[in-house]
Structure formats: structure tokens, C-alpha cells
Amino acid sequence: MPNVITHSLFTDFDIDLFKAGKHYKLYEKLGAHLVEVNGVKGVYFAVWAPTAQSVSVVGDFNYWTQGEHLLQVRWDSSGIWEGFIPNLAKGSIYKYKIQSNINGVVTEKADPFSLYCEKPPHTASVVWDLDYNWKDTKWMETRQENNSLDKPYSVYEVHLGSWKRADNNRFLTYLELADDLVNYVKETGFTHVEFMPVMEYPYDPSWGYQLVGYFAPTSRFGKPQDFMVLVDKLHQAGIGVILDWVPSHFPDDAHGLGFFDGSHLYEHPDRRKGYHPDWKSLVFNYGRNEVRAFLISNAVFWLSQYHADGLRVDAVASMLYLDYSRKDGEWEPNIYGGNENLETISFLKEFNEVIYANFDGVQTIAEESTSFPMVSRPTFAGGLGFGMKWMMGWMHDTLEYFQKDSIYRKYHQNDLTFSMTYAFTENFMLPFSHDEVVYGKQSIANKMTGDEWQKFANLRLLYGYMFTHPGTKLLFMGSEFGQSDEWNFEKSLDWHLLQYDYHKGIKQTITDLNQLYKNNPALYEKQFSGEGFEWINYSDHQNAVLSYIRKGNDEKENLVVVCNFTPVVRENYRIGIPKKGKLKEIFNTDSSLYGGSGITNSGTLKVDSSPYDGRDYSIELTLPPLSVTVYSIA
């Protein structure tokens, strides 16, 4: 029997779709597949390498010998090399040795479509399958109800390697996380987790944002099926799963996608478009059909094969602009003379169209930090088609405000109110992400001003303001209990802090805010619409107080929110109310349960007929120090 048998999984239609950039399930064809040919079990290999002169599969089964198992190039000019190696089994370790017809360059590459990779620092691919018996049918059938834009969306952002470590600083496995992490997220009430990239990456300090194995969950924490167990358990607990996805750039590691077959295959050949100066990485050629099909197939793969509920697309701003982080002379304008990357815009629109057309109840979320218009608007209306966009301006302005001593805050009220001038131009997610707690920026808790009591009161106030502000929410791990130190990816979060009352109080605040958010439709039904928000008074900068109404579909469920951004107790503080009735305090960040001073508005509070704030009715409240108080209206 020959070393390699002629065999193909491709039809002519597959090839036509691939060439056109419209094949969105390439993972079913390219890569390594356990199959049976003429009664013989083995592995079918297929790899795209159009400038190759020869392609060998090398591995532990042939002593890594080039030429022992040669693939054959297809006749159809697709550039695909393929073949069946009999008697090869699951778990076999392999790479592709590619001799280019360009100056005879030889590259040795991991499989771009590998389902499983060797544990870093090893770099080979592993023959694997995705056989798994999913138990999340209930979640998948009802996902659209839990994951739509008019539902609560409170996201816990997690770096799997440093959320918690075992003894001797060992990584927790996917299976261990399927118990510990799932129970914790359920306890604290988050509706979703977002995993920083789980796709295989060679370099730990990249936090996963320099991907090599786009179709393989990292083997640092276990096997592919083990990651499926983690997703499955989260779904069974009613928790959605968002994956960070990085189509913006990739590293130039020797075994990766760069210079794959001796040519610029995946990266743009023009360095002005194909190299990222900030990250010293390579940028995909979004104008090449086969590359677009690779990336969109990858997005489809994680949503279909791993049941992900959404993709948070990293570094979208770097993709959209030809001059991003480039000096004059280092970039070339588009055909209209502008700085927009037209190929990227076209790609992102197609990506979103494919995802929303093929998956019910999923969301795509853009990390996009500029004023690029209509990022989260449908493509048919001229938008990019994302479901949500990170509200980076709100995040920067809010954190800057909270770092100011309270005595100066009356001069900076606009830092808070400005967000409402553009809050409904996009479907915004409010992010306090990992980027805000590294590189000397301090933890969220240590950004807060004042003595110890005020720091924690300010932190509770910050989170209360965040959860009552329009938009969905994202909080990086550790922030929910007031992690003191900056995030360090090389060790566990400081879980020992939960023995201290102030830190326990922050965790309880977040837990109760999550319940407040989920239990009150006024906070989510119109979270992306101006109809869901109404100022009561935004101009009381002298007292540094903001008051507003959050609205849902039923006005009987509306909520009144009052924020006091100073440590001064405001007694007999009057605000205007739109109608007669009664108010009842349902949430207070100053509760003694959280470590606050315990000043509350107890009982039922009657609205009187005194006009105020331009309204016919008003009410007097006691505003606790550095607090958010929330009231139902009856």
C-alpha cells in the first residue's frame, strides 16, 4: 500500500466557493480528518499552499522525514494539496513541510485548521476529532430569549490562566474550571462569561491575543472536549459564553500562518497593510477571497462546533483605518483618498451578515474605540452589522472622574453627563476590561480616591452608576471583589481578600446589582434606546448629584435613580417626579450589608404636589454619602 492514497473531501462546488471566498465551513474540508477509505482507517490531510512545489506531512509516525508522505496538488488551480495516509490514528503529531517554488524556500508549519495542538512551547499539530455528546439542548433552544438585545447582558470577562490557580501555581484545567468557575459565575449572578482568547497561542504574555491555532482551544488547560464540557456546564447553568476573536493580526512565529508557503499567503503583501507596528505582528489580507473564507469559517466554527453564544471582535479600530498607528508615509490612502480600509469594511460586513443569517440568538461585539459611524447598525442600513460596540469614551471619562477628589467633582460633571449625548448612536456595552487594570493603570479599586472607606464607597458608587446607565455591562475578573493589585497573568487573583469585609461588600454589591439588572425590565428592555432614559436633573454640579429615570415597556416598572458623588449626606434633597404616587427604595450602595454607613430611605415615600425640576410633582429624599439609590414608582 502506498504511503499516501489519492482521496478528496472536496467537490467542485466546494472549490468554487473557496475561490470565491464564500465557503464558510472550510474546517469540514481543510485540515486533518479521521476517515475510512476502501475499508482502511486513517487520516485525510488537506492544506492550502498555492506557491508550493511540494508538501510533505511530517510527524512522529515518519521520524519527521520530508518526502516520506507527499500530498498531491489538485488540478483545479485552487492551490490545495491533499491525500490520505492509511493506518494513522487520533493523537498523531504532525506538521506540513512545504517547499516553495519561490527560490526553493522550505517552511515547516503547524496545520492552520488543526483541531488540537501540542502544549506550548511545543508547536506541532495533533490529529483529533470533535466527538462530544452535548447536554445543553435547553439552553440552545431558548438562547434567543436569553441573548437578545432587549435582555440583561452582564458579562464577566475571564482570563482562564489566571482566574484561579491550583497548588504550585498550576493552571486549573477546563474540567476544574467547569466546576469552580461555573459555580462562581452563577453565585455572583452574571448572565455571560467572556473568555479572553482560548484559541492556541504560543506566548503567554500575549494573553492569547497572538493566535496560531485558530481552530484549536489551547492545550494548556486540557483537550478540546474538555473545553466543550466547560461551555456545556455554563449553558446548563443558564450562562452564555462569549469568545474573544482576533481577526485583526497574527504573530510571525515560524510555525504559524506567516510566510506560510514561502509567499505572503495569509498576510497582506504590502507591509503598509500587512504589518502591525504596535504589536509587531502580521495583518490578514482581507481582500483575498480565500483568507476571508478562512476567517469567516473560523467564526462559524466556534459558534457551531463549540456552541459559543457570541464573539467579541478584538482591535476593530486597528482594522478599519489604513493609518492606524502609522506615521505619514507609512500608509497609502484608499481609492477615494481616505484613510478607511475598504477591504476590511467589506470583510466585517460579510462576517456579520453570515453570522446573523446562520445563528439564532448570537451576538457579535466590536471593541472599537473611535467614532467610526454605525458600527452596531445593520449592513442593509449602511452599518458594519455588529450587535454591540464597547463604549470606550464612557469608560475613559467615568474612570477619570472617579479618580478626582470629591471636592473637585463639581467642576467636572460634564465628564459623566457627556455620555448621554451619544449613548444611543450605537448599541453600547459599558466595559471595565482587562486593559484598564494593567501596565501601571492600577486596579479599578485603586483608581478610587479617598481614604479606605471612601475608596470602597466610590467603588460601589461606580458600579451602581454603571448598572443603572443605559447599555450592557462588562467587568473584568477580580474587579467584582475589589482586587487591590493590578492584574498579573502569571498568578491567581487575590482570592484571600474575600476574608475582609470591604471586599466581601463589593462582591455582594455586584451580586445584588446583577439581580437588580435582571429583575427590573426598566434597566434592559430599552437599554439601547433614548426611550429608556430620561434625565430628572443633570445640572446640579454644585452638589455633584445626578438623577434620572430608567424606563421599560411598562411605565409602572420605571425606576428612579439618584447618584451622590460626594461623601456629604444630602438631607431633604428634592427631585422632580413626573406623576403622583409613591417611591420605595429598592437598592442602595450605602447599605451596611456592603460596608456602607447604612443611611437609607425606609418605608414608602410619598410624592407631593410641589413643582420641581420642571415637573408638577416632587419628593424629598435623603442621599447617602457616595451612593447610588434606586427607587420603584408606585
How confident is the model over 531-547, as pLDDT tens digits? 999 999 999 999 999 99
Q: What is the mean pLDDT of the chain?
A: 96
Between residues 634 and 54, the one the model is more confident about: 54
DSSP H/E element including 59 = strand 52-59
What fold is seen in the domain 12-109? Immunoglobulin-like (2.60.40)
- 478 Cβ partners below 8 Å, 6+ apart? 437, 443, 487, 493, 494
Bridge partners of 117, per DSSP, are: 125
211-220, 226-235, 269-278, 341-350, range with the lowest pLDDT? 269-278
582 SS3 class: strand
20-24, 144-148, 432-436, 620-624, range with the lowest pLDDT? 144-148
User: What confidence score (pLDDT) does residue 23 get?
Assistant: 98
pLDDT band at 1 (very low <50, low <70, confident <90, very high): low
Residues of the chain with CATH 3.20.20.80: 150-411+427-455+470-517
Dist CA 263 CA 269 (whole Å): 8
Dist CA 273 CA 270 (whole Å): 5
3-state helix, strand, coil in the chain (%, to 5): 30, 25, 45
> Averaged over 173-179, what is the pLDDT?
97
User: What confidence score (pLDDT) does residue 104 get?
Assistant: 85
Set of cell numbers at residue 633 = 414608582
Residues of the chain with CATH 2.60.40.10: 12-109
What fold is seen in the domain 530-633? Immunoglobulin-like (2.60.40)
* DSSP category for residue 118: P
Helix axes 452-468, 501-519, angle to 10 degrees: 10
Residue 3: pLDDT over 90: no
User: What confidence score (pLDDT) does residue 4 get?
Assistant: 86
Residue 42: pLDDT over 80: yes
> Averaged over 387-392, what is the pLDDT?
97
255 SS3 class: coil
- Nearest to residue 289, comparing CAs of 272, 265, 269? 265
Give the CA-trace dihedral at 200, 201, 205, 209, to 10 degrees: -90
Contact indicator for 467, 513 with CB cutoff of 8 Å: yes
pTM to 2 decimals? 0.96
Set of cell numbers at residue 475 = 467587568
User: What confidence score (pLDDT) does residue 634 get?
Assistant: 84
pLDDT band at 102 (very low <50, low <70, confident <90, very high): confident
Residues known to be catalytic: 314, 367
pLDDT in tens, 555-584: 999 999 999 999 999 999 999 999 999 999
Contact indicator for 150, 524 with CB cutoff of 8 Å: yes
* Helices and strands, counts by H and E, the chain: 13, 28
Q: Which CATH architecture has domain 150-411+427-455+470-517?
A: Alpha-Beta Barrel (3.20)
